[in-house]
């Protein structure tokens, strides 16, 4: 009896403390990351086939002017746009045309083929939508969002945009870069020569402070290897966790997930694959990297369980909105860093500021550009004494 009373008292105290805990900021009512949407409804459709198609999203109705194109490149295994549905809806309702190419057929396609397939899907989709009065893609305003393995795919697409016959992006926003391999014999996305990316590209990488080391190493490699882009157009960013109030904000590898059931793959019908021509030789062969690893499976499940919170509104959505506007108007990273709103994360309900984003313009070897403000930072790969090499650390990430 006494134990029950103690437990009841403790439970009551805990509930009271939660009730008194500060709450995190909500979505802004206007501006970057805000809820001042142009339209309420989003058109959802598919182009291509079930195994190799592109999901298309935009605000319902005819477009008064061409829409900026946002290509969303998912993590390995996250073929269902519902896993990022909240962010996709935000982008579409803000006036963008969102393409979600399904560059992976789980258990049937290899990471080595993902970049070329994504390029083919983007090209086909833009051709199909070129004269669509509702879609109206603006191929002069294109941005890529990549998450985990989607980041090296975004970089490969940008590096070979001319060869792939797709528009070069003005912005690459890479979240928690991963899935990178340094050898064709290893599992993951082989990063191409990214020194050919257009010099006017704005390149931003962002890691969360939980499990950030692999993402940081990948970011440093990316920023170092993209030699054609001046340092003034690169940002090395990090989102921080904050447990000042309840619920706490936790910047994990899967924090960009924003599940929204309205965007489930089963509700957006893609035509079935045509029957295989028996006269054409079947060259398909299964390989182990076609299936998801245990870690990739867990990360995909975590994406589906990740709630939409302040990190989404102010770390990911707002940052992209501001970066895209800067990129499309010719502004650079220094311009973004001068704006205090760019790293601001608002305040808890008791007035305590949420941990701000960090945003550094790195000093990259071989480049003489200096940041207009803030400390200079030299980027090098992780030291050799770390427990694993870059490829071992990064190529296991989804």
* Interval 102-118: pLDDT, tens: 999 888 888 999 999 99
User: For residues 156 and 150, is the Cβ–Cβ distance under 8 A?
Assistant: no
Torsion, Cα of 101, 105, 109, 115 (10° steps): 10
- The mean-pLDDT minimum among 176-180, 189-193, 255-259, 275-279 falls in 275-279
Write down the pLDDT at residue 28: 97
| Per-residue pLDDT reduced to its tens digit, 11-40 | 444 444 454 799 999 999 999 999 999 889
Task: Grade residue 322 by pLDDT with cuts at 50, 70 and 90.
Answer: very high
How far apart CA 291 and CA 2 sit, in angstroms, is 54
The pLDDT mean for the chain works out to: 87
- The mean-pLDDT minimum among 172-176, 185-189, 323-327, 381-385 falls in 381-385
In angstroms, what CA-CA distances link 9 with 2, 21, 22, 255? 11, 18, 22, 34
Residue 10, pLDDT > 60, answer: no
Write down the pLDDT at residue 380: 32
Residue 158, pLDDT > 80, answer: yes
CB neighbourhood size of 39 (10 A): 14
User: For residues 253 and 148, is the Cβ–Cβ distance under 8 A?
Assistant: yes
User: For residues 189 and 174, is the Cβ–Cβ distance under 8 A?
Assistant: no
Residue 211, pLDDT > 60, answer: yes
Non-local CB neighbours of 123 within 8 Å, separated by 6+ positions:
164, 165, 166
Write down the pLDDT at residue 379: 33
Q: Could you tell me the fold of the domain covering 25-271+287-394?
A: Rossmann fold (3.40.50)
The 3-state secondary structure of the chain reads CHHHHHHHHHHHHHHHHHHHCCCCCCCCCCCCCCCCCCCCCEEEEEEECCCCEEEEEEECCCCCCCEEEEEEECCCCCCCHHHHHHHHHHHHHCCCEEEEECCCCCCCCCHHHHHHHHHHHHHHHHHHHCCCCCCCEEEEEEEEEEECCHHHHHHHHHHCHHHHCCCCCCEEEEECCCCEECCCCCCCEECCCHHHCCCCCEEEEEEECCCHHHHHHHHHHHHHHCCCCCHHHEEEEEECCECCCCCCECCCCCCCCCCCHHHCHHHCCCCCCCCCCCCCCCCCCCCHHHCCCHHHHHHHHHHHHCCCCHHHHHHHHHHHHHHHHHHHCCCCHHHHHHCHHHCCCCECCCCCECCCCEEECCECCCCCCCCCCCCCCECCCCCCCCCCCHHHHHCCCC
| Per-residue pLDDT reduced to its tens digit, 256-314 | 999 999 999 999 988 888 877 777 777 767 777 788 888 889 999 999 999 999 999 99
- The mean-pLDDT minimum among 283-292, 331-340, 385-394 falls in 385-394
Residue 395, pLDDT > 50, answer: no
Residue 159, pLDDT > 80, answer: yes
Write down the pLDDT at residue 20: 74
Write down the pLDDT at residue 3: 52
Residue 255, pLDDT > 90, answer: yes
Helices 114-129 and 150-159 cross at an angle (nearest 10°) of 70
User: For residues 226 and 203, is the Cβ–Cβ distance under 8 A?
Assistant: yes
Write down the pLDDT at residue 175: 97
Compute the average pLDDT of residues 178-188: 83
Q: Can you give the residue ranges of every domain in the chain?
A: 25-271+287-394
- The mean-pLDDT minimum among 43-57, 79-93, 134-148, 308-322 falls in 43-57
Task: Grade residue 365 by pLDDT with cuts at 50, 70 and 90.
Answer: low
Question: In the numeric block, which tokens belong to residue 150?
Answer: 């989607």
Compute the average pLDDT of residues 85-112: 94
Task: Grade residue 4 by pLDDT with cuts at 50, 70 and 90.
Answer: low
Write down the pLDDT at residue 2: 52
| Per-residue pLDDT reduced to its tens digit, 343-354 | 999 999 999 999
């Amino acid at each position: 009896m006494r134990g029950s009373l103690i437990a009841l008292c403790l439970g009551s105290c805990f509930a009271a403390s939660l009730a008194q805990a500060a709450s995190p900021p909500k979505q802004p009512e206007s501006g970057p990351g805000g809820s001042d949407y142009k339209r309420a409804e989003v058109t959802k459709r598919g182009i291509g086939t079930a195994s190799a198609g592109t999901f298309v999203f935009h605000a319902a109705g005819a477009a008064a002017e061409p829409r900026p194109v946002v290509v969303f490149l998912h993590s390995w295994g996250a073929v269902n746009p519902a896993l990022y549905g909240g962010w996709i809806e935000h982008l579409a309702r803000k006036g963008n045309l969102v393409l979600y190419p399904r560059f992976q057929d789980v258990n049937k396609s290899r990471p080595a083929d993902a970049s070329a397939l994504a390029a083919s899907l983007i090209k086909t989709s833009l051709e199909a939508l070129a004269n669509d009065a509702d879609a109206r893609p603006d191929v002069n305003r294109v941005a890529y969002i990549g998450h985990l393995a989607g980041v090296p795919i975004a970089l490969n697409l940008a590096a070979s945009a001319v060869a792939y016959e797709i528009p070069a992006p003005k912005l690459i926003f890479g979240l928690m870069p991963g899935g990178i391999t340094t050898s064709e014999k290893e599992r993951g996305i082989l990063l191409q020569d990214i020194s050919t990316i257009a010099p006017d590209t704005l390149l931003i990488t962002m890691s969360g402070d939980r499990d950030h080391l692999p993402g940081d190493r990948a970011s440093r490699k990316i920023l170092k290897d993209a030699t054609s882009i001046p340092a003034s157009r690169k940002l090395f960013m990090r989102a921080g966790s904050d447990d000042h109030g309840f619920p706490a904000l936790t910047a994990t590898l899967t924090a960009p997930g924003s599940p929204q059931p309205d965007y489930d793959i089963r509700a957006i019908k893609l035509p079935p694959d045509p029957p295989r021509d028996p006269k054409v030789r079947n060259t398909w062969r299964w390989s182990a990297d076609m299936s998801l690893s245990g870690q990739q499976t867990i990360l995909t499940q975590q994406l589906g369980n990740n709630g939409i919170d302040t990190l989404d509104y102010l770390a990911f959505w707002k940052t992209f909105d501001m970066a895209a506007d800067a990129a499309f108007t010719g502004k650079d990273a220094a311009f973004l860093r001068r704006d205090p709103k760019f790293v601001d994360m608002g305040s808890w309900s008791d007035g305590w500021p949420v941990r701000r984003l960090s945003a550094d313009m790195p000093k990259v070897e071989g480049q003489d550009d200096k940041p207009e403000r803030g400390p200079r930072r030299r980027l090098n790969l992780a030291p050799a004494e770390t427990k694993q090499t870059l490829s071992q650390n990064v190529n296991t990430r989804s």
